[in-house]
A and B are shown apart, each in its own frame.
Chain A
Amino acid sequence: MSQPPRETIQKQIQQDWANREYIEVITGSIKKITDFLNSFDMSCRSRLAALHEKLVSLERKIDYLEACVTKGETLT
């Protein structure tokens, strides 16, 4: 097997470095997107939990008020 000239190989190696750098940059960006999605997820969850809590407490309040207002009548 005849080896290609050294310059070609060196160029190929350099090309390889460049390609891998490109891949690393893309991978790094995907990683960043993942991190973003994760913290977005966390943030949404905490905000939704807060919202849910408010809704539940409102619901309970309505139940209570309904009971207060109906005074012994059958509740629907």
Chain B
Amino acid sequence: MSVSEKVSLSDALSNVDVLDELTLPDEQPCIEAAPCSILYQANFDTNFEDRNGFVTGIAKYIEEATVHANLNELLEEGNDHAVMLYTWRCCSRAIPQPRSNEQPDRVHIYERTVQVLAPEVDKLLQFMYFQRKAIERFCGEVRRLCHAEKRRDFVSEAYLLTLGKFVNMFAVLDELKNMKSSVKNDYSTYRRAAQFLKVMSDSQSLQESQNLSMFLATQNKIRDTVKDALEKINGYEDLLADVVNICVHMFETKMYLTPSEKHMLVKVMGFGLFLMDSDACNINRLDQKKKIRLDRIDRIFKNLEVVPLFGDMQIAPFNYIKRSKHYDPSKWPLSSSPNPPSPQADLMVHLPQIREEHQNYISELARYSNEVTTTFKEAGSDSENRAVTELCLRGLQLLSSWCSVLTELCSWKLLHPTDHATNPRCPAEAEEYERATRYNYTSEEKFAMIEVIAMIKGLQVLMARMETVFADAARRSIYAELQDFVQLLLREPLRKAIKNKKDLIRSIVVSVRETCGDWARGCEPQLDPALRGKKDADASFAIKVPRRNVGPSSTQLYMVRTQLEALISDKSGGRRTLRKDLDAATLQQIETFHRQSFYWMYMLNLADSLAKCCDLSQLWYREFYLEMTMGRKVNKCTVRHQHNEECNDLITMEKRIQFPIEMSMPWILTDHILRSKEPAMMEYVLYPLDLYNDSAQYALTVFRKQFLYDEVEAEVNLCFDQFVYKLSELVYAHYKQLASSMLLDKRYRAECAARGASTGCGAGRYASLLRQRHVALLGRHVDLCALVAQRINADMHRALDAAVAKFEAGDITGVVELEGLIAVNRLCHKLLSRYLSLDEFEAILRESDHGVLAPYGRITLHVFWELNYDFLPNYCYNAATDRFVKCRGIQFAPVVQREKLQQFGHAMLWGSKQLSLAYSAQYAQYNGFVGPQHLHALVRLLGYQGVAVVVSELLGVARGLLHGTLAQFTRALAAAMPRHCKLPRYDYGSNGVLGYYHAQLTDIVQYPDARTELFHAFRELGNIILFCMLIEQALSQEEVTDLLHAAPFQNILPRPYTAEGEKLETKQKRLEAKYSALQIVQNVEKYGTAKQSQLSREGDLLTRERLCCGLSLFAVVLRRLRACLAAPQWPAPPAPPHHAPLHTDDTAEFHRLWSALQFLYCIPVGDTQFTVEELFGEGLHWAGCTIIALLGQQRRFEALDFCYHILRVQRVDGKDELVKGIPLKRMVDRIRRFQVLNSQIFSVLGRHLAADDERAGVEHVRCFPPPAATHHN
């Protein structure tokens, strides 16, 4: 659109209206205060600049408006000075002082001092001039109003209130001046430098400097000056009594809106009474004369013992009374007694009411807001508008009252710091501000404060959202009420006044009508009979009152209200009051109008009022306490006395310009939520942080001090980092606990709980916090979600790292726990991924496993390490339990050195202490043995690749054993074997046979290394073989489970049950049809793209053919071992082909050697000795049998074995005697047992070898259908 193009107003307005229709989704739940990047506030307060426009108004009030305008300016200036004093920071402490007069650069120092401080000192000078001027002006006004002529005249409410504001201003300025010792110090530093340099040469400036010095040094200077000046004015006390009375009246009838106005009224009462009480005037006597009501004020002072004075300064207004001359405690029964404490000290008594108010109001607002958003209306009817305006006003009043409760509590707490005696949590050496904030609130109080803050901020958001609607309704309804009142209601009093010739009333009414009448035709209808004092004729005269969307201007409103007040006032300058001339009905109408219109000003400046009603910025400011402690921990002083700069008794002279965040209210509250982890409060956590926004806003717009803003910012930076850190920790720990307790067995959990160890997870309401994508802080918008995600991502990496490290610090049995830890982390990741974008779990796992860059990771490496150094040398296999166990009490190999176990936080492992205990108890069951559970866990963790790596490494070890130790022993033993050893005839009897073999094999039997080394080497080899076999079993079981899971999706259904006469095919077809929706390939082909269907087909094929080759890991292992045995390094080569002649007596072949060894280990041992089974397990037999089987000597072994022969002979003769110390029967029992074992081993091996042979050459592709439940017909 070009600039020159003209747009009509209506077009422009409709363009604006169209903006509403654009949808702007913002998916984050609103749990923070109103965020606004752009703040727009129009201010139509003209400060009576337009007063001359209302020429028809009564001149007296236009003059008064002029006075008001001037006084308002003075008040504003006074506020600037108050800000200047309050935010004054000591400069002189930072300025170097010349140590002696001989110091060469002292002139330079002084010059710079003057240069730096001159602008500051000028401010002080201006302040002094201002207070002089303001006191003069104030006394001037008082004098004018107290003039004998004037005294009985009516003084308007607005006027009295302005005088009250002056009284308040003097009180504030005086207290600030008293409090700021740094101002005095700075000035004396300046004066010293200036005197040295003789900057002030003329007598006048010297005098001024002296005055300023005196002014600053004299305590209560302003207060006393005002009091002295007032006491010279005759009858001032009556005027002040009026001021105090109007304050009491306004306070009691709640004619105020913002908390600061409320507190101002109380301060005026206190300070006003103090000013009134003098030699000439006794307030007690005034009370007797009913000019003031001390009992009412007493009640107010009791209810509000402490009010904020300025920033974090507070004042007890009753103290003014106590200091006054005629203080009489009996007149102040409530305030003078310390009991009961003021209700302001206890937030808890207010809380239920606040909650109820909040709930009621919110519901009402919600109902209305729904109505507004769903129905479009140009403008509501008068009554609707009035209802909305009232709703809005009520909201403002509620906000203000809650805000007051909070600020009053804080003020009270500041004035009543705790100590070690009252609060044991408070350390004895806690400093002043700490005692006033950090330790001064109980946990409930902090929660209550948070809740109230949340209510205030939450309602503020809701109201701000509807601000345009509210403002619109308010303007329309105010306009309607005002015009109806002026144009219709005032006709009757006007008619009467004209008829009865009451000129004064007539002129006032006419003036009111003309000041703000907005006549339909531009001017008053001249035909109106009322203007001639006549009643309306039958053909009634109708006035059509127009409607507009605008309220009266500030001056107009003032004029109307003040003039009406003159009508209804009961004071009227000695004449009889005008009230008497008005009839009761009219009087009441005017009074109602006057009362209601008081709030119009606030409604017309809605945005401003709303902001002021919700302003909690002062919760952060602590200039007063900073000034008091001068940035030092003065309470470290060992001696009780008034501290000064030279105090030598301070132990720590800790210099700082701000208090730490632990003493800062916003952070105390925020931290309290995080610390207590209270789920109900968690969603409020952003509200206390918003206090910083308030404070920063205040620093920028009201105090206008960069350094204050910088300090807020610095604190926010610090706090927010902490906040994110703590929050992420909480979130992570919570979800970890959740995951852990979800995975814990339910009954086990119940039993834990029954024993008092709660393994459950508390409630946690982090969901809405984790969806915060733009948290407004100091004009910045922070993506909380991303920040938390970043930290939790790191936590996730650390946790998996910890899991792996924990595994690395333990033996192979830890693999089950590792799997459990990974499962918990996986579930935790899944739960968190709902809210946060984290790295993929598999990626994190691989990274923690260091498996991204290397072909195999830490887990695989550690598994192999443990297998090689701990498992193979130390464990013995037991087929009965299907477990490998360590030989009790004996460590065969040197102790394995492992990484030291690091200490991890509970959150890194199982989430909490109780959960860690529960889980460690659970996993302790898996220690001390290696069984199917471990192998399954291993298979799942390592995957095909890892298993392949481990197995091929183990094969390497096996080769080493076969070609190394075992080859050596075989050679040595072969040499020790008798050249010939035959099977003796049965005639010799079993005892003879045993004796024969014992004699033949004596070298072997006495071979010293057999038990200590040879058998161990065989056991290790056997362990390798067993491990490979068992791991293959585990692997196939896992695969079968996978296949079973996949079956329904691949159209593989279990055979249905068929009753007699039913056809299997039809049933099968029906089932297939029923589950056709599950069949992936068909469905993807039907609905997907060509690429998708191809992918699904390939995936299906991969799943189907996973086992299709029937590839057996163990067969490969056996083949490799056979290759090793065929290698030249192996001393006992395989048997020659079958047709070669069999030398039954030869002992050259390996099976003969093994027979000898078998003879050795079949010899029974004494009761105290370790048995062969205990020491070597079944690995020994597995090793021997495998070698024999692989060498193809199984048949020969079974036919020619020495032991078997003894067994056979013994079966025949059944002898039992001791042969060379060997009990024959026991020996034979052992042989029988080992024979069974050997044949079991041979049959297992035979099955694998047969399958392998069959497949040698061609690969038979065969589909194994997944196992189906056996079907019984």
Contacts and interface: CB of A to CB of B under 8 A. Distances in A.
A62 B514 CA distance: 77
B786 A11 contact: no
Nearest to B855: A71
21 contacts: A6-B514, A9-B55, A12-B53, A13-B54, A14-B518, A17-B548, A20-B553, A21-B549, A27-B42, A29-B13, A38-B38, A39-B24, A41-B37, A42-B774, A45-B773, A46-B774, A49-B773, A53-B789, A56-B837, A61-B839, A64-B839
Interface in A1-42: 3, 6-7, 9-14, 16-18, 20-21, 23-25, 27-42
Interface string B528-566: 000000000000000000001111010000000000000
Nearest to A73: B853
A31 B56 contact: no
A1 B1038 CA distance: 108
Interface in B6-36: 12-13, 16-17, 19-20, 22, 24-28, 35-36
Find the residue from B44, B517, B523, B781 having the highest chain A CB count within 10 A: B523
Contacts of A31: 40, 42, 467-468, 471, 607
Contacts of A33: 16, 19
Nearest to A32: B16
B808 interface: no
A71 B28 CA distance: 41
Nearest to B12: A29
Contact of B468 (A20, A32, A45): A32
Find the residue from B36, B517, B550, B607 having the highest chain A CB count within 10 A: B550
B854 interface: yes
Given A9-B514, A11-B522, A53-B789, A71 B475 contact: no
A49 B790 CA distance: 14
A34 B514 CA distance: 36
A13 B518 contact: yes
A72 B853 contact: yes
A37 B1015 CA distance: 85
Interface in B851-905: 852-855
A33 B17 CA distance: 9
Contacts of A16: 53, 553
Contacts of A72: 853-854
Contact of A29 (B16, B24, B26): B16
B549 A25 contact: yes
B12 A43 contact: no
Interface of B: 12-13, 16-17, 19-20, 22, 24-28, 35-40, 42, 44, 53-56, 467-468, 471-472, 475, 514-519, 522-524, 548-551, 553, 607, 773-774, 781, 783, 785-786, 789, 837, 839-840, 843, 847, 852-855
Contacts, number: 145
Given A6-B56, A20-B550, A29-B12, A46 B522 contact: no
Interface residues of A, number: 52
A38 B36 contact: yes
B524 A10 contact: yes
Given A13-B54, A52-B786, A64-B847, 20 more contacts: A6-B523, A6-B524, A7-B523, A14-B519, A17-B548, A21-B550, A23-B550, A24-B549, A32-B17, A33-B19, A34-B40, A36-B20, A42-B35, A43-B24, A46-B27, A49-B774, A64-B843, A67-B852, A68-B852, A71-B853
B38 A52 contact: no
A3 B16 contact: no
A36 B550 CA distance: 22
A63 B548 CA distance: 65
Contacts of B24: 39-40, 42-43
B32 to A, nearest CB: 11
B773 A46 contact: yes
Contact of B13 (A13, A20, A25): A25
A21 B468 contact: no
A46 B35 CA distance: 13
A13 B16 contact: no
Contacts of B28: 46
Contacts of A53: 785-786, 789, 837
A37 to B, nearest CB: 6
Contacts of B843: 61, 64
Contact of B55 (A3, A38, A42, A45): A3
Given A13-B516, A21-B548, A46-B774, A54 B553 contact: no
Nearest to A9: B56
Contacts of A45: 773-774, 781
Contact of B19 (A10, A32, A41, A47): A32
Contacts of A46: 25-28, 773-774
A55 to B, nearest CB: 10
Contact of A43 (B26, B517, B553, B839): B26
A69 to B, nearest CB: 10
Contacts of B515: 13
Contacts of A6: 56, 514, 523-524
Contacts of A49: 773-774, 783, 785-786
A53 B17 CA distance: 34
Nearest to A3: B55
Contacts of B550: 17, 20-21, 23-24
B519 A10 contact: yes
Contacts of B523: 6-7, 10-11, 14
Contact of A42 (B26, B517, B785): B26
B18 to A, nearest CB: 10
A41 to B, nearest CB: 5
A3 B59 CA distance: 13
A25 B837 CA distance: 46
A42 B1049 CA distance: 46
A43 B551 CA distance: 34
A29 B19 CA distance: 10
Contacts of B773: 45-46, 49-50
